[in-house]
Amino acid sequence: MQTRFAERQLADPELAASEQILRKCVHCGFCTATCPTYVLLGDELDSPRGRIYLIKEMLEHDRPATAEVVRHVDRCLSCLSCMTTCPSGVHYQHLIDHARVHIERTYTRPLLDRWLRAALAFVLPYPKRVRAALALAAFARPFAPVLPGSLRAMLDLSRRTRPAAASVSSSRPIAGTKRARVALLEGCVQTVIAPEINAATVRLLERAGAEVVVVGGCCGALVHHLGQEPRAHALAASIVERLHAELIGGGLDAIVANASGCGTHAKDYGYLFRNDPLLAAKAAAVSAKTRDITEALATIGLPPRAAGVPQLAVAYHSACSMQHGQKVDAEPRRLLAAAGFEVREIAEGHLCCGSAGTYNVLQPEIAVRLRERKLANVARTHAAVVATGNVGCITQLAAGAGVPVVHTVELLDWATGGPPPRALQPGAGAGGRELRADR
Ligand code: SF4
Ligand code: SF4
C-alpha cells in the first residue's frame, strides 16, 4: 500500500512503525474471509482491509478520529485471525493498538461510553475492586431490563462469573528433583472469578518438578485494548520490573502465563517498551522468557498419568490470543491427548467466541452472535467437556455450553493426580455442569 506520510510525521516512532505496517498490505483481501466481524456483518469497513484503510486515512492526514472510524475500530475484536491469514505479514495487532490510542487522544465518546470504559479500566486490573464490583452488581441486577445494552451485558457477565475462594499467593519447595524454576503470572480478574486455574497450574508445575514463583498484578492487556495507554503502560512497567528482578535474581527458565490474553501481551512487552531507555532491555528479556503454560509443560514434561481418571471426549476451543496471538496450537491438544483425553475439533475453530477482553461488555450484540455460533459448533462435537486456555472464553461459553467448560490445566492437573475441575464437580454452580455419562 502506498503511503504519503510527511517527513515530520515519520519522526514520531509510533507513526513510523505504523507506516511500515501499512506499506506491507497489498489489498489482497484474503483476511476478510477469516475476520469474524466481516463474516457476521458483511461490511468491508468491518473487515481488516477496511479498517486498515480507515486507519491509514486517519493517521496519514493527522485527523482526529471520526465517529465512523471509531465505530469500525471498536467492532474489531483484536482476535488477530487476520494476522494468521495475511500472506504479506501485516502486523495488524500493532496497527489497531496505535489506532485505539489515537482514538482515545482525539475523540470524545458519548458520556455513557466514556463512563463505562473508565469504570472497566478502574476496576478490572485490581482484584479487590473486581470483588467489590461483583458484589455491587448483584444489587443492580433487578434493574437490568431497563438499562442500556452495554450495562445489561456487564450485569449479565457478572452473573456468569463466580467470585471464589482465595488465590495462590506463594511458592514452596518442591519434592524430588527440581527440573525448572518458573514465574507464574497471577493475573487480575482470573484470581477472583476462577482462582482454581492458578491453583491447578501451580500443582501441575510442581508435580512436573518446577519451582513456582507467583508474581501478582495485572499485565495491562485489558486496559491496553481500551486504548488507555498511560494506565496500561504503568501496569505493564510494574510487572516487567518485578519479573526482571526474578529473572536476574533467582533465575527463571520460563515466565508462565495461563491466560492466553495475558501471555500474548507479555510476549509483546519487548515491542511496547522498545523506545523506553529504562525498560526496553528488561521488557525484551521478559518477553523472550514468556511461555503459555502448555508451552512450558511441553518443555518440562507432563507428570505421569494417575489411575482412575475417565478418558473423556474434550472439545478443545483454541482462544484467539492463543492460536492467532501466540501461534500456540499443537501443544494444548498434544498434552490433553497425552493425559488420556480424546481431543475433538470444533468447526470454524479460527473464529472468535466473542469474549475478547471487554468486548462482550462493549459490543454485546456481536459478542452474543459469535457466542451462539461457537456454542452451536461446540454442540456438534458431542464432547463431554470443553477445554480452553483463557478465562475470558470460559466465562463467555460456560453459561450456554450445556457441558462444563474448563481450563486446559484443570484437566491436565486432574489427569496427573489433582482434584477434578470445579466445574465438573457435583453441584457446580453457574457455568458448571455435571458430566454426561454417555460421552
Ligand atoms: S483482529 Fe479479528 S475482528 Fe479485528 S480485523 Fe482482524 S480478524 Fe477482524
Ligand atoms: S490479507 Fe494482509 S495484505 Fe491482504 S488485505 Fe489483508 S492485511 Fe492486507
pLDDT number for residue 153: 61
Provide the residue type at 300 as one letter.
I
The rounded average pLDDT for each run of 10 residues, N- to C-terminus, in the chain (439 residues) is 94 97 97 97 98 97 97 98 98 98 97 94 93 82 60 60 53 72 96 94 97 96 93 97 96 97 97 97 98 98 94 97 97 98 98 94 95 97 98 93 96 97 76 46
Instruction: Give the closest residue to 16 by CA, choosing from 95, 104, 97, 86.
Output: 95
Which residue CA neighbors atom 4 of ligand 2 most closely? Answer: 28
Instruction: Give the closest residue to 133 by CA, choosing from 150, 152, 147, 120.
Output: 120
Widest CA span in the chain:
67
Q: Quote the Cα angle for 79-81-83, to 5°.
A: 110
90 lines ligand 1 (CB under 6 A): no
pLDDT number for residue 167: 47
The structural domains of the chain, ordered by start, are 7-106 (1.10.1060.10), 299-424 (3.40.50.1860)
- Residue pLDDT, tens place only, 36-61: 999 999 999 999 999 999 999 999 99
Cβ-based neighbour number of residue 140 at 10 Å: 14
CA distance 37 to 44: 10
- Residue pLDDT, tens place only, 139-198: 766 666 655 565 566 556 666 565 555 445 445 666 668 899 999 999 999 999 999 999
pLDDT number for residue 15: 97
Q: What is the CA(1)–ligand 2 centre distance, in A?
A: 10
90 lines ligand 2 (CB under 6 A): yes
Q: Which of 18, 22, 26, 91 to mutate to test the pocket of ligand 2 (most atoms within 8 A of CB)?
A: 26
Cell of 108: 470524545
